[in-house]
């Protein structure tokens, strides 16, 4: 009904994305305060939010964003250095714009936000210095033109002008500041300024009030030549101004649509065509030759080269815009597609079953052909649903920054393998668990700078988030170089709480896994950040819910590594259907090592719960009794040997049926606490069946053996 959404909804959605980008740029700037791409990016994000917001008369939002943008104009123009304070303030502004944006949705404008607007505006105005007055005064005028600029920007009719501008030498005295003119030009479009210093005399001869500079300015804009000339209106009489069009937005222009170096120099009148000819014939780098022969100065060559590059870049940008073939699709639509494809797969499994039963050759052949096709559609739709893990990782930059500040720690965040792709749903379900783990690492893992120095480490701790493919899984690691976990303390705590006994049969990994037990915490002092062990059990549950597992490695004073292993895709699983009593259960094929007749392997005599599997003693679990199934046992119970990380167990079922491919569905909140079942599938006849939680069953069985 409301699928398209109102333009305002679209704006909000886009603005939120832009805010996200803004944050990324700000975080980048914090690392490298001179990164021009990020400065430009931050400015563009603000500019676009302001511009589009103006179309919806969102005055509060537009007004506030304008002031922030004005500060970034100064940063972009190199008038204001990026300081930590500015980043702090800008991040606050980002959050504030976000809440202003939310207000446009709820429609509730409260005083608190107003006050905050004013407070932050004041802080930003401080950065504007003298410009503050004019900026807040002319808000509406400027962004009207900005909007107009923006909306036409990508349309058509862009020209690139070469402007040669030589101010009169007394222009400083007449108050015609050339910088203002350059800034005004920059407002018109994208710009490249090349300054010539060749006229500056030696220091002893210099006249401080004289202007010795001249510029060649390349401006790409959708404005006409008159608009460009208007900028020079006050200096027209005194300065030398030459404006040429050097490139038009002509889609037909071929690849080599930019001019050669020599041509540019001739165009500018900096070289005689005859001299050029002579230089070209000498077959060396033309620039070098020209300088050597004294036809032009090195500065002129550089300037011409810059022009060449500039025009080429503009061209290329235009081309990429034109050939861009991505479409934005709502995530819900993709979700729906993946779901439907899942249904499709399920339904086909039903058809294949019928085909098998009917034993009709043609029917079976058709069903098989269909399977091939469906597999392709399935793979494609899963691919559509994959997103790079960067989306997840970069979201933590801010958290790490804020948290380390709150805790007075120095933490550097490193991201690795950000291009690794994962199912969107998996990414969503990883968000909270990772947040928790990162919090813990910073709070408990990484030490204070003083303590680190004492230990002989760098005062700045490193937190590494990395992702990589490993077989049919993706491994995500959170690595810190902090204090490490105290295994002995965790063991003591475990004994105290009666979770383990004092014997030494527990491996280090067994003990470390205890931190995932509900309410388990060794930290005596609870902090507001990571609390008292609340959460790690939730972390494990969430990760297991998406079929993942979690491992810890730790070494005292070296650090802790948490590895989360998750299947590449959750959507569809290949499994083996097995029967226990009247119910069917699906076992994920990727865990199955082998299927055997129980009689063949069962160790006779003592009747223990062990089998001899190829010389290895493996415990097994009778699912009939584990699930409390009544009725007669099968005459030939089957044993399915499954393994998780080399840990093998056998599962006894009544019968094995067939391979089955299906979408896995969540059992929902009501069955969240069920043990041994991880989800449901829908069979060909429409009846649900259950999916065995192998991870859990392996754990349960092996724990049982220990006791």
Partner 1 sequence: MSTVSQHDSSVGASLGATAAAQAEAADTEKYLVFSVAQEKYAVEVVRVEEVIEAYGITPVPRTPSYLLGIINLRGRIVPVLCVRRRFGFEAAVTSSDTRLVVLQVHLGEEMVSLGAVLDAVHGVVDISPSEIEKRPTLGNDENQHIAVTSIAKHENELLLVLNADLLLTKEYLDNSYEHLRQRVVG
Binding residues for partner 1, rule: CB under 8 A, are: 1, 339, 343, 583, 626-629, 665-671, 673-677, 680, 682, 686-690
Residue from 290, 298, 304 nearest 261 by CA: 304
Sign of CA dihedral 17, 19, 25, 30: negative
Q: Which is nearer to partner 1, 682 or 694 (CB)?
A: 682
Distances in whole angstroms, Cα of residue 460 to Cα of each of 63, 449, 456, 463: 39, 7, 11, 10
Q: Which is nearer to partner 1, 4 or 670 (CB)?
A: 670
Neighbouring-strand partners of residue 587: 576
Give least dist CB 11 to partner 1, A: 22
Provide the CB-side half-sphere exposure for 396 (13 A, CA).
Answer: 29
Sign of CA dihedral 121, 126, 127, 130: positive
Give least dist CB 348 to partner 1, A: 14
Q: Which is nearer to partner 1, 297 or 425 (CB)?
A: 425
Give least dist CB 552 to partner 1, A: 25
CB-CB contact of 483 with 445 (8 Å): yes
Give least dist CB 674 to partner 1, A: 6
Give least dist CB 668 to partner 1, A: 6
Give least dist CB 551 to partner 1, A: 26
Give least dist CB 631 to partner 1, A: 13
CA distance 273 to 296: 12
Give least dist CB 689 to partner 1, A: 6
How far from the centroid of its chain's Cα atoms is residue 249's Cα? 34
Q: Which is nearer to partner 1, 406 or 501 (CB)?
A: 501
Q: Which is nearer to partner 1, 290 or 586 (CB)?
A: 586
Q: Which is nearer to partner 1, 446 or 681 (CB)?
A: 681
Token pair listed for 80: 């204001």
Q: Which is nearer to partner 1, 577 or 690 (CB)?
A: 690
How far from the centroid of its chain's Cα atoms is residue 379's Cα? 23
Distances in whole angstroms, Cα of residue 271 to Cα of each of 162, 215, 280, 477: 17, 18, 13, 61
Give least dist CB 679 to partner 1, A: 8
Sign of CA dihedral 195, 197, 199, 200: positive
Q: Which is nearer to partner 1, 121 or 662 (CB)?
A: 662
CB-CB contact of 576 with 590 (8 Å): no
Q: Which is nearer to partner 1, 384 or 683 (CB)?
A: 683
Token pair listed for 677: 């079942």
Residue from 427, 424, 400, 391 nearest 564 by CA: 427
CA distance 633 to 653: 9
CA distance 560 to 632: 50
Give least dist CB 351 to partner 1, A: 16
Q: Which is nearer to partner 1, 118 or 666 (CB)?
A: 666
């Amino acid at each position: 009904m409301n699928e398209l959404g109102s333009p305002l909804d679209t704006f909000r959605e886009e603005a939120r994305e832009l805010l996200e980008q803004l944050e990324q740029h700000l975080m980048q700037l914090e690392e490298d305060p001179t990164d021009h791409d990020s400065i430009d990016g931050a400015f563009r994000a603000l500019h676009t939010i302001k511009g589009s917001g103006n179309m919806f008369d969102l005055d509060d939002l537009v007004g506030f964003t304008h002031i922030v943008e004005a500060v970034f104009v100064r940063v972009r123009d190199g008038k204001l250095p990026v300081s930590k304070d500015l980043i702090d303030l800008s991040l606050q502004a980002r959050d504030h714009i976000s809440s202003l944006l939310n207000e446009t949705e709820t429609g509730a404008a409260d005083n608190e936000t107003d006050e905050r607007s004013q407070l932050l505006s004041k802080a930003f105005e401080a950065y504007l210095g003298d410009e503050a007055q004019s900026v807040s005064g002319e808000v509406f005028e400027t962004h009207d033109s900005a909007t107009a600029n923006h909306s036409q920007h990508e349309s058509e009719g862009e020209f690139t002008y070469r402007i040669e501008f030589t101010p009169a030498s007394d222009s400083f005295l007449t108050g015609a500041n050339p910088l203002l003119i350059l800034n005004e030009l920059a407002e018109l479009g994208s710009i490249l300024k090349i300054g010539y210093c060749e006229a500056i005399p030696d220091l002893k001869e210099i006249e401080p009030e004289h202007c010795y500079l001249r510029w060649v300015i390349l401006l790409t804009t959708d404005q006409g030549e008159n608009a460009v000339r208007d900028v020079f209106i006050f200096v027209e009489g005194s300065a030398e101004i030459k404006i040429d069009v050097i490139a038009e937005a002509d889609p037909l222009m071929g690849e080599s649509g930019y001019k050669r170096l020599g041509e540019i120099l001739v165009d500018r009148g900096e070289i005689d065509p005859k001299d050029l000819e002579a230089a070209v014939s000498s077959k060396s780098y033309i620039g070098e030759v020209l300088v050597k022969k004294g036809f032009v100065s090195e500065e002129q060559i550089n300037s011409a080269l810059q022009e060449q590059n500039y025009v080429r870049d503009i061209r290329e940008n235009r081309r990429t815009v034109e050939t861009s073939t991505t479409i934005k699709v709502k995530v819900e639509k993709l979700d729906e597609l993946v779901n439907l494809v899942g249904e499709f797969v399920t339904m086909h499994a039903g058809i294949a079953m019928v085909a098998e039963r009917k034993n009709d050759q043609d029917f079976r052949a058709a069903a098989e052909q269909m399977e091939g096709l469906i597999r392709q559609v399935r793979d494609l739709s899963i691919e559509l649903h994959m997103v790079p893990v960067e989306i997840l990782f970069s979201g933590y930059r801010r958290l790490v920054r804020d948290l380390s500040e709150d805790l007075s720690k120095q933490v550097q965040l490193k991201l690795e393998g950000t291009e690794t792709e994962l199912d969107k749903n998996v990414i969503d379900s990883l968000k909270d668990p990772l947040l928790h783990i990162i919090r813990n690492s910073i709070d408990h893992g990484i030490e204070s700078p003083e303590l680190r120095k004492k230990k002989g480490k760098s005062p700045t701790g490193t937190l590494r988030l990395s992702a990589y493919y490993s077989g049919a899984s993706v491994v995500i690691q959170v690595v810190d170089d902090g204090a490490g976990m105290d295994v002995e303390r965790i063991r003591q705590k475990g004994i105290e709480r009666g979770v383990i006994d004092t014997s030494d049969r527990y491996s280090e990994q067994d003990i470390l896994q205890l931190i995932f037990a509900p309410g388990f915490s060794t930290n005596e002092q609870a902090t507001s950040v990571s609390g008292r062990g609340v959460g790690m059990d939730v972390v494990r549950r969430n990760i297991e819910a998406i079929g993942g597992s979690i491992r810890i490695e730790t070494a005292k004073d070296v650090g802790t590594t948490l590895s989360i292993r998750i299947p590449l895709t959750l959507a569809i699983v290949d499994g083996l259907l097995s029967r226990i009593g009247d119910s069917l259960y699906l076992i994920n094929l990727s865990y199955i090592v082998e299927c055997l007749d129980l009689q063949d392997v069962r160790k006779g005599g003592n009747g223990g719960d062990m089998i001899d599997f190829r010389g290895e003693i493996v415990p097994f679990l009778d699912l009939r009794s584990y699930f409390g199934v009544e009725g007669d046992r099968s005459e030939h119970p089957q044993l399915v040997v499954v393994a998780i990380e080399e840990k093998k167990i056998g599962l006894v079922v009544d019968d094995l049926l067939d391979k089955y491919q299906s979408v896995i569905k969540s059992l929902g909140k009501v069955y969240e606490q069920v043990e041994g079942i991880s989800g449901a599938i829908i069979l060909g006849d429409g009846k649900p069946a259950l999916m065995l939680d192998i991870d859990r069953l392996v754990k349960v069985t092996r724990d049982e053996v220990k006791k």
